[in-house]
Amino acid sequence: MSNLISRPGFSPGAPLPEPTQWVQVRELADGPAAAASGGIGGGDDEIDLRELWRALRRRRKWVAVTAAGVVGLSLLVTAYQRLFRPVYEGSFSLLISDPINNESRGTTGAALQGGVFEELARNTTQADLPTLIEVLRSPALLQPIAQRFNLTTSQLADRIAIAPGGERNKQAEGVLHVTVTGRDPVADERLLSDLSAAYLQAALTQRQQRLADGINFLDRQAPQLQQRSAELQQQLAAFRERHNLLQPSEEGTALRGKVVEQGDAVRALNAERSRLQAVRQSIANGTITATGFQEAIGTGPSTAGGGQNQGLSVADANQGLLEQLTKLDQQLADARARFTADSSIVQGLEARRRQLLPLLRRNQLEAVDSALGLNAARLATARQQEQQLNADFRQQPQLIRQYEQLQQNLLIANDNLASFLKTRETFQLELAQRSVPWRVIAPPTINPDPVSPSVPRNLALGTLLGLVAGAGAGLLRDRLDHVFHTPAELREELQQPLLGHIPHVSFFAGVREQKRFLLEELDRGIAGATGAESAAPADEAAELLKLSGYQRFFYQEAFRNLFTSLRFLNSDKPLRSVALTSSIPAEGKSLVNVLLAKTLAEMGQRVLLVDADMRKPQMHHRLGLNNLVGLSNLLTEDDLHWRDVVQTMPSYDGWTVLTAGRRPPDPARLLSSPRMHQLVAELAASQVFDLILYDTPPVLGLADAALLAEQLDGLMLLVSLDRVDRGLPREAVARIRSSGAPLLGLVTNAIKENSHGAPAYGYGYGQYGYGSSYGYGAYNAGNAYAYYATSEPTPSPADANGPTPSGPLARAQGQWRRFVRWVDR
């Protein structure tokens, strides 16, 4: 009894609850080539990671075995190299720059100690470590050492590795770490010593050559620098003579002071002119007195010469008149204070005063006019001087700029000349010295422990490579062997009930190719197994031996279990009409139907076997019946009844067959016709048969199976192990679901003999334009079934067929096949 159960909520007699969906079905070639061309359900340009993961899980033994082999091989190679071909490493470190001197050589220091000329002469404008390393590994430098050690320069260069940085600070660009690898520690130590000495000597030689080249460079630059300095000095002297200048900046400052001072003088003369004009107007109006006239003259502003009232002078005669008038005013004031206005004294004084005033006014006007004329002359002179000073001052910035440019060029030329002289003196002193510019800061030493091969690194690389190689081997094997190997693998992949498994039996090999009548051979084989073996010829006895014992029991129990699974699928309503289909041809549907019908008939069941494959009918060949009238005639002729068409099987009570009949032009149209639906219903309702088996064409590429299954109680999908591409059953299930046909479950079929030689079962199928193929697989429960089949040991098929090939090559091939089968499982 099968331990399989149907899915929850699944009813074999009802359509699937999933909504109808269209599935694109494409014809695929059989075998590994189709699997390698691409999987089912994905685009050609897409990579399904889940499918890759499932493939790796299926081929986990291939992954593990390949990875273990690669890791083991890497360990063996590492151990061999470690023991017989070890590689040792030695090294030393060179200090190629003085960090103290380099630190003191900043921007200012460089300018003071030689500057650009020293850098150009030394050719040290930038550190080029890659070029230096290439020079140290060049043939010109390594040739003498290579000759002493009987090596070529390329061999020696390949063993030398030079990198900047020390052991503690990898960014120390002033240190070179030299490493040498080899297989002879003693010779390599001498090589390191010679190499360090050669590098130091090369540094000294290069330093001397660079200093000599620097001196030559400086000597070539000396005449130009001296000539340039002399030319600039001559231009500066000519400029001073031409413009009568010594220091244009200082003289410009003094000139600016004169301009300001002359402007003040012009403004003072203008103020004096305005004051004199006011005094003259007052005199002309008679509003100024003699005392006021003197005060106006005395309070006037100072002139450019620093004196007072330089613009107005009073003659001696005028001065006497002023004094008389002043004295007369005093007397008049006293007289008026003492006498009355009509007094003769007062009137006489007034008359006298009236006589002096016109004379004094005329003299005052003449004096003021003289002062105005003098002021005008001085003002014109001052303005002319101011304009000249301003003109000279406006030319001064251009003269200052030219002077400073000449002076700056002369300063640069003098600095360059001084730097040149300093640098040449320094180079001459350094050239006289013989100190080595480089220094060995880590002596040459050889590591006593081999550095290659590295066990941790090789183990890590081997593990990584093993995983990659294992994954590649697993995926490649899965592409080349893209089939199902076990029923459990198929059930896990498709998530469908597994109704039964048909094991491999070697007797059924070639039944189609040899066009043998199967039932006659089966009956004769059973009879021979019960005691008729001695009466048969030798060849026939060997053939009958294939069905003896547990082999017959083997396939009989498989079909009984399949029938039991069908009964347990639905206990409420027994299944009456069931079809068996496959994904592609050559999976053995017809033979499975024949053997299932025969086994059920032997169990007392009433079975009707209907050949619904009207495209390529096979049932009448298998059973030895005629195919004159069959299913196609029932569907096309109204006067026929199914009871008149079915044929009974001789010697099998309860087993009847309805052959396919003549081949119609459109089988799919007949299978989907109302007449077919009516026929299926009549056969199921007749109560004449316990089970009606329909043999249909493959479900992929043809619509016959799906159209017929819609009218039946259920459809079984046959999958050949080790034969059909694993993507095809998945596509077939999708096709069945999209058509709405009830899928009862899966039936697996082993078409190859297993590695242990257990009895199994196989068959072939015709072709529908797809191509024909044939093969056999394995079933691993043979030993368990052998216990129930017979109590006496029975010769195996290998023994019946004669001795097996022997020899080392045959044994090796057998071992390899068993290993591949074990890994595939």
Q: Which residues contact 290 (CB under 8 A, 6 or more apart)?
A: 322, 325, 326, 329, 360
- Residue 441: which H helix or E strand, with range? strand 439-446
DSSP SS3 for 553:
helix
- Whether the predicted pLDDT of 771 surpasses 90: no
User: How do residues 194-214 score in pLDDT, each as one tens digit?
Assistant: 999 999 888 888 877 777 777
- Residue 498: which H helix or E strand, with range? strand 498-502
Lowest mean pLDDT among 154-158, 466-470, 800-804: 800-804
**Residue 690 φ then ψ, to 5°:** -80, -30
> Is the CATH code 3.30.1890 the one for domain 84-239+434-446?
yes
Split at pLDDT 50, 70, 90, the class of 298 is: low
Complete edge-to-edge strand list for the sheet that includes strand 647-648: 498-502, 743-750, 714-721, 577-582, 691-695, 607-611, 655-658, 647-648
DSSP code of residue 157: H
- Residue 175: which H helix or E strand, with range? strand 175-182
Split at pLDDT 50, 70, 90, the class of 331 is: confident
- Whether the predicted pLDDT of 14 surpasses 50: no
Q: What is the pTM of this model?
A: 0.50
- Whether the predicted pLDDT of 761 surpasses 80: no
Identity of residue 107 = T
Whether the upstream peptide bond of residue 453 has omega within 30° of 0, thus cis, is yes
**Mean pLDDT, to the nearest integer, of 82-109?**
72
| Closest-CA residue to 400 (of 245, 258, 259, 249) | 249
Please check whether the two domains, 84-239+434-446 and 482-824, share a CATH topology: no
- Whether the predicted pLDDT of 610 surpasses 90: yes
- Whether the predicted pLDDT of 781 surpasses 70: no
**Mean pLDDT, to the nearest integer, of 772-798?**
36
**Rounded distance between C-alpha atoms, residue 466 and residue 62, angstroms:** 11
| The predicted structure's pLDDT at residue 528 | 52
- Whether the predicted pLDDT of 624 surpasses 80: yes
What percentage of the chain reaches a pLDDT higher than 70? 71
Split at pLDDT 50, 70, 90, the class of 386 is: confident
Into which CATH architecture does domain 482-824 fall? 3-Layer(aba) Sandwich (3.40)
**Rounded distance between C-alpha atoms, residue 236 and residue 208, angstroms:** 41
Task: Determine contact, residues 681/642, Cβ cutoff 8 Å.
Answer: no
**Mean pLDDT, to the nearest integer, of 126-143?**
83
Cα–Cα distances in Å, from 462 out to 88, 172, 675, 786?
A: 22, 35, 69, 46
- Whether the predicted pLDDT of 384 surpasses 70: yes
| The predicted structure's pLDDT at residue 277 | 83
Cα–Cα distances in Å, from 695 out to 497, 578, 617, 699, 795?
A: 20, 9, 9, 12, 35
Sequence spans of domains, the chain: 53-83+453-479, 84-239+434-446, 248-409, 482-824
Mean of per-residue pLDDT scores for the chain: 74
- Whether the predicted pLDDT of 737 surpasses 50: yes
- Whether the predicted pLDDT of 799 surpasses 70: no
User: How do residues 694-715 score in pLDDT, each as one tens digit?
Assistant: 999 999 888 888 888 888 988 9
- Whether the predicted pLDDT of 402 surpasses 90: no
**Rounded distance between C-alpha atoms, residue 352 and residue 53, angstroms:** 147
| Cα-based torsion angle of the residue sequence 694, 697, 702, 708 in order, rounded to the nearest 10 degrees | 0
Split at pLDDT 50, 70, 90, the class of 527 is: low
Identity of residue 665 = P
| The predicted structure's pLDDT at residue 116 | 53
